[in-house]
Structure 1
Amino acid sequence: MRVVAKLTSKGQVTVPREVRERLGLKQGDDLIFEIEGDTITLVPPEEDNPFDAFIGTLPPLPKDAKTYWREMRDGEGGE
């Protein structure tokens, strides 16, 4: 697919509807321009993983998981 868009005097460009729909873009989304030589590729950024917010919130598990779960079950989990 080849789509043409015009660059404004301020360096802005409107992403054509066909491109927005194909990439699943919506208002406020960031865009990534990948440049290799004379080729520029427009790609949507990877979606944020909602679980990233929880990284580091749990205590590290000991090497022996059975011991960990036994201590948690028996109330020796440090609380």
Structure 2
Amino acid sequence: MFIVSIYFSLTSAWWWFIPGLIGMSVIWSANKSGNAGNLLDAAMYDEEFYERFRSAGIWQYEMAEEDAQKYAT
């Protein structure tokens, strides 16, 4: 979308890149939050998928210090 807006700004009117920039930032934000949510959903329903990520050390857990002491090695 942004590349097309640059093309239009060069061939038609200079201001086309502004809506392209705004649209690109909206789509980028939606994809960024959607991808994280998709991984969490997949991990909730597929135990093997969750275990692969857990064993690779990719997941980060947020918890109280008292609770974390139980899992510290």
Q: TM-score, normalised by structure 1?
A: 0.27
The structure in which a higher percent of residues are helix is 2
Structure number having the greater strand percentage:
1
Larger Rg: 1
